[in-house]
C-alpha cells in the first residue's frame, strides 16, 4: 500500500511536469506501440525495426510486429566472424547501428515477432549480459588458437540457442509459409533505399565517410552535411510522412526519459529544469564538433523519431519513440528540443524518398 501511494504521487508529479510544457502535436508519423529492450544493449535493433514497421505501413502492407532479436542474433554472428578474423582485436559487444540492421535484412531477411521471440519460454524478460560474457570468453579463447577449427561458429550458435532459442528456417504468417528472405521481399524492404546522414567538420561536407564511433564495427558510411541541413532534412521527412532512426547522446542532464523531455539548458543546474520552459544553448557547428571531439557527445542510444510538436511558447520539439517501456506521462515517447537535436545527434537514417532534393544527390 505504501509503495502504491508513492508511485501514484510520482505519476502525479511527472504529469504536472510535462503538462506545464503543454506539448501539442504538429505532425506525427504512424508507428507501432512502444516496446522494452530490457537488460540488453540492442536499442539499435528496436529503433530500426520500429522504423521499418512504420515503413511497411507507409507502403500499404499494414501493421507488422518485427522480431528485433532475429536481427540481433545474426549481428552477433557477424560480429563474431569479424572478431575472430581480426584475432580478437575488434569490437564485440551488444551495440550496433541502424545500417547494420538494414544490411542484415538484405543478407538474411527478417521474421515477425511471433516466429522468433529471441528468448526461451521460461525467461521472464530479455537479458544479454551473461550470454554476451559467455560468447566473448568463448571467442577470446578460440582466437588464441594456432590453427582455428571450422566448428567454432557452431559452438557460438549453441550458446545462443541456449539463451535465445533456435531460429526456424521457415515460419507461417497469415496462412502462408515463408523463409526470412521471402518475408523481407513480401514486406517490400530494400536496404538500398535507406540513407545515413551525419554532420561533422573533420570530414568534408557533401561527401561520405566512415563514422569513427565504437559501434560502427562494420565501417558503414555516412553522408556528411551541415548541421542546419541535417535539421532541415528531418523536418522535411516528418512533414512528408517519413520517420527517422535517430542515434545520439542521452547522457546529458537535460535528457529525462521519466519526464519525457530532452532539452539543452543554458543553466543545467536549475531546479525547475523539467517544470518550466527555459533558455537553451545556442548551438553552432563549431560547438557541436567540439563536443564530439572531446567525448562530451557519444554514441549512447538509438530511438525512432516519429513527429514534431510545439510547447506553449511555440518552441519546436521532435517526438521520439524510445524502447525502455511505457514510462512517463507520454507512455515511452519523449519530446526533444531542436537545440538538443543539433548538439547531441550523432547520426540519422531514413528512406531516400524522405530526403530533400538538394541533399538526395
- Quick: pLDDT tens for 1-12: 333 434 344 444
169 by Cβ neighbours in 10 Å (0-12 / 13-18 / 19+) ranks as exposed
Quick: pLDDT tens for 251-275.
999 999 999 999 999 999 999 999 8
Tens of pLDDT along 130-143?
999 999 999 999 99
pLDDT of residue 361: 65
Q: How far apart are CA 319 and CA 310, in angstroms?
A: 10
3-39 per-residue burial string, b: 16 or more CB within 10 A, e: under 16? eeeeeeeeeeebeebbeebebeeeeebebbebbbbee
Closest CA to 71 of 24, 17, 109, 120: 109
Report the C-alpha dihedral over residues 66, 70, 349, 319, rounded to 10 degrees: 50
- Position 357 scores a pLDDT of 86
- On whether the CB atoms of residues 14 and 329 are closer than 8 A, the answer is yes
Residues 63-92 have a mean pLDDT of 96
In eight-state DSSP terms, residue 163 is H
Ranges assigned E (strand) in the chain: 24-28, 171-173, 176-178, 194-198, 208-210, 221-224, 244-248, 255-256, 261-262, 301-310, 316-321, 333-337, 345-351
Distance CA 139, CA 225 (A): 38
Phi, psi for residue 257 in degrees, rounded to 5: -65, -35
Residue 214: Cβ-neighbour burial (10 angstroms; 0-12, 13-18, 19+): exposed
Q: What DSSP designation does 32 have?
A: P
Cα–Cα nearest to 234, from 313, 103, 347, 98: 347
pLDDT tens-digit readout, 269-301: 999 999 899 999 999 999 999 999 999 999 999
- For the chain, the residue count is 361
What CATH architecture does domain 2-360 belong to?
Answer: Alpha-Beta Complex (3.90)
Residue pair 66/120 in contact (Cβ under 8 Å)? The answer is: no
| Confidence grade of residue 360 (pLDDT, cut at 50, 70, 90) | confident
* Alpha-carbon Rg for the chain in angstroms: 21
Amino acid at each position: 500500500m505504501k509503495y502504491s501511494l508513492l508511485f501514484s504521487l510520482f505519476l502525479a508529479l511527472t504529469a504536472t511536469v510535462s503538462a506545464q510544457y503543454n506539448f501539442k502535436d504538429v505532425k506525427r508519423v504512424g508507428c507501432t506501440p512502444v516496446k522494452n529492450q530490457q537488460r540488453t544493449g540492442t536499442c539499435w535493433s528496436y529503433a530500426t525495426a520500429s522504423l521499418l514497421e512504420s515503413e511497411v505501413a507507409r507502403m500499404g502492407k499494414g501493421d507488422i510486429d518485427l522480431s528485433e532479436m532475429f536481427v540481433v542474433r545474426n549481428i552477433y554472428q557477424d560480429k563474431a566472424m569479424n572478431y575472430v578474423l581480426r584475432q580478437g582485436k575488434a569490437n564485440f559487444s551488444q551495440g550496433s547501428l541502424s545500417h547494420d540492421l538494414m544490411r542484415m535484412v538484405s543478407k538474411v531477411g527478417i521474421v515477425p515477432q511471433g516466429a522468433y521471440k529471441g528468448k526461451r519460454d521460461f525467461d521472464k524478460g530479455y537479458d544479454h549480459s551473461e550470454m554476451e560474457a559467455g560468447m566473448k570468453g568463448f571467442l577470446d579463447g578460440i582466437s588464441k588458437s594456432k590453427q582455428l577449427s571450422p566448428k567454432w561458429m557452431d559452438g557460438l550458435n549453441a550458446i545462443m540457442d541456449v539463451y535465445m532459442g533456435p531460429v526456424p528456417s521457415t515460419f507461417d504468417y497469415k496462412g502462408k509459409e515463408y523463409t526470412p528472405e521471402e518475408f523481407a521481399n513480401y514486406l517490400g524492404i530494400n536496404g538500398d533505399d535507406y540513407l545515413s546522414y551525419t554532420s561533422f567538420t573533420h570530414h568534408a561536407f557533401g561527401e561520405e565517410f566512415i563514422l569513427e564511433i565504437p559501434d560502427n564495427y562494420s565501417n558503414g558510411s555516412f553522408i556528411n552535411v551541415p548541421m542546419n541541413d541535417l535539421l532541415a532534412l528531418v523536418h522535411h521527412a516528418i512533414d512528408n510522412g517519413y520517420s527517422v532512426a535517430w542515434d545520439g547522446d542521452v547522457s546529458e542532464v537535460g535528457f529525462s526519459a521519466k519526464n519525457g523531455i530532452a532539452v539543452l539548458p543554458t543553466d543545467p543546474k536549475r531546479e525547475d529544469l523539467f517544470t518550466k520552459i527555459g533558455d537553451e544553448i545556442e548551438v553552432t557547428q563549431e560547438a557541436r564538433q567540439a563536443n564530439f571531439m572531446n567525448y562530451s557527445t557519444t554514441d549512447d542510444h538509438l530511438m525512432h523519431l516519429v513527429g514534431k510538436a510545439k510547447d506553449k511558447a511555440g518552441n519546436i520539439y521532435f517526438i521520439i519513440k524510445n524502447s525502455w517501456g511505457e514510462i512517463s506521462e507520454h507512455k515511452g515517447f519523449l519530446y526533444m528540443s531542436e537545440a538538443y537535436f543539433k548538439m547531441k545527434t550523432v547520426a540519422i537514417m531514413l528512406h531516400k524518398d524522405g530526403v530533400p532534393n538538394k541533399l538526395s544527390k
